[in-house]
Amino acid sequence: MSDAYIALADGRVLEARCRAPGTTRGELVFTTAYTGYEESLTDPSYEEQVLTFSYTLIGNYGVRADRFESSRIHPRAAIAREFTDEMATWFESEGVPAIDHIETRDLVTSIREDGAMKCGIAAGEDVTPEDAKAELAECKEMSDHTEIGQQVTTTETTVHRGGGEADVALIDCGAKGSIIDSLTERGADVHVLSCQTAAEEIRELDPDVLFISNGPGDPANFQNTQSLVEEFAGELPIAGICLGQQIVARAFGGDTEKMAFGHRGVNQPVIDLDTKQVVMTTQNHGYTVSDPGDLEVTQRNVNDDTAEGLADDERGIITRQYHPEANPGPHDSLGFFDDVLAMVDTQSAVTAD
């Protein structure tokens, strides 16, 4: 008799083994990454989702807090062919349901063919398929999570010192810790601000760069952050990563759309349209820029031609859809942060003239 069930939007109910008990629901997605499971699970961009690992064994090199991207696990549940006991202990300590001994190849194929879908999970003693179905019935579409930014943003402004060579106002829509590290390692002081921050607070801070972070959900639900981009466009250099690129595009008259199953993994090829160089990138997003508006598309995904980089040199705009900072890698695109901080020097020179 099984002690875990997952009910899918396509009508199926699959049996599994409980590794951490609980009932929950969310959008079922998958990642093809075979390393970096600690980073993936603590990435705020997975908020309100159920994360399936396509790689067979998850946990084979342990769990270390110094590899976490945030203070907690963000997916509402996790699925693998097999989780180690150490992983099961971690999930249970955080109250996050986890199931394994399930045919993940079938799950991944279903998501590839039918798209990311709603699901319900029930795991633990005495659970039934009906419990999983009940969770599925309560599951919302990702775009309906209108307050998702408030679930992951900082509750107070924090400052991370890197040497004072530049002041970066990082709007936290669900920022990964490695973004902060990548900026401080280059001498910048990073001021982490809520995605609900008012423009007046940023003016008082007087930063050198406005940086929009990654985050979960539909970019259309981050209206306040979009208004900040609109407010400071042409006044401050602006950068964005992942969700940040999408918000910036919308602020410049562009549009976004939901992808069928998104990009989640560590081997997405991206081509720079100017240099023709291809880099391998880490990605985690379910929405994409469908119309760049007033911005120029500078990089594209080799597999599906979606926009991976946007820019406006005159107004000091640079964004990436992928994660240049991603740990454990690849690190082909870390130069993005040098390019962001170089905009400070350019802006200073223009102001001096």
Is residue 100 within 8 Å of 17, Cβ to Cβ? yes
Q: Which residues neighbour 195 within 8 Å (Cβ) at sequence distance 6 or greater?
A: 149, 150, 153, 171, 172, 173, 215, 222, 224, 225
Domain 148-352 sits in which CATH superfamily?
Class I glutamine amidotransferase (GATase) domain (3.40.50.880)
| 287 annotated ligand-binding residue | yes
Q: Across the chain, what does the average pLDDT equal?
A: 96
Per the annotation, the verdict on 325 as an active-site residue is: yes
Q: What is the pLDDT of residues 58-72, one digit of tens each?
A: 999 999 999 999 999
Domain residue spans in the chain?
4-140, 148-352
| 163 annotated ligand-binding residue | no
Per the annotation, the verdict on 139 as an active-site residue is: no
| 221 annotated ligand-binding residue | no
What is the model's pLDDT at position 20? 98
What is the model's pLDDT at position 274? 97
Percent of the chain with pLDDT over 90: 94
| pLDDT band, very low/low/confident/very high, at 327 (cuts 50, 70, 90) | confident
Take residue 226 and report the two structure tokens written for it: 């979009």
| 45 annotated ligand-binding residue | yes
Res. 348: pLDDT tops 70 = no
- Find the catalytic residue in 119, 139, 195, 242: 242
Q: Say which amino acid occupies 112.
A: R
Per the annotation, the verdict on 323 as an active-site residue is: yes
- Find the catalytic residue in 39, 48, 69, 325: 325
d(CA 67, CA 79): 20
| 284 annotated ligand-binding residue | yes
Q: What is the pLDDT of residues 30-60, one digit of tens each?
A: 999 999 999 999 999 999 999 999 999 999 9
Give backbone dihedrals phi and psi of 6, rounded to 5 degrees, phi first. -125, 125
Instruction: Enter the pTM of the model.
Output: 0.96
Q: What is the CATH T-level fold of the domain 4-140, as seen in this structure?
A: Glucose Oxidase; domain 1 (3.50.30)
- The closest of 269, 267, 210, 205 to 244, measured between CA atoms, is 210
25 forms beta bridges with 120
| pLDDT band, very low/low/confident/very high, at 326 (cuts 50, 70, 90) | confident
DSSP assignment letter at 353: -
| 240 annotated ligand-binding residue | no
Q: What is the pLDDT of residues 299-312, one digit of tens each?
A: 999 999 999 999 99
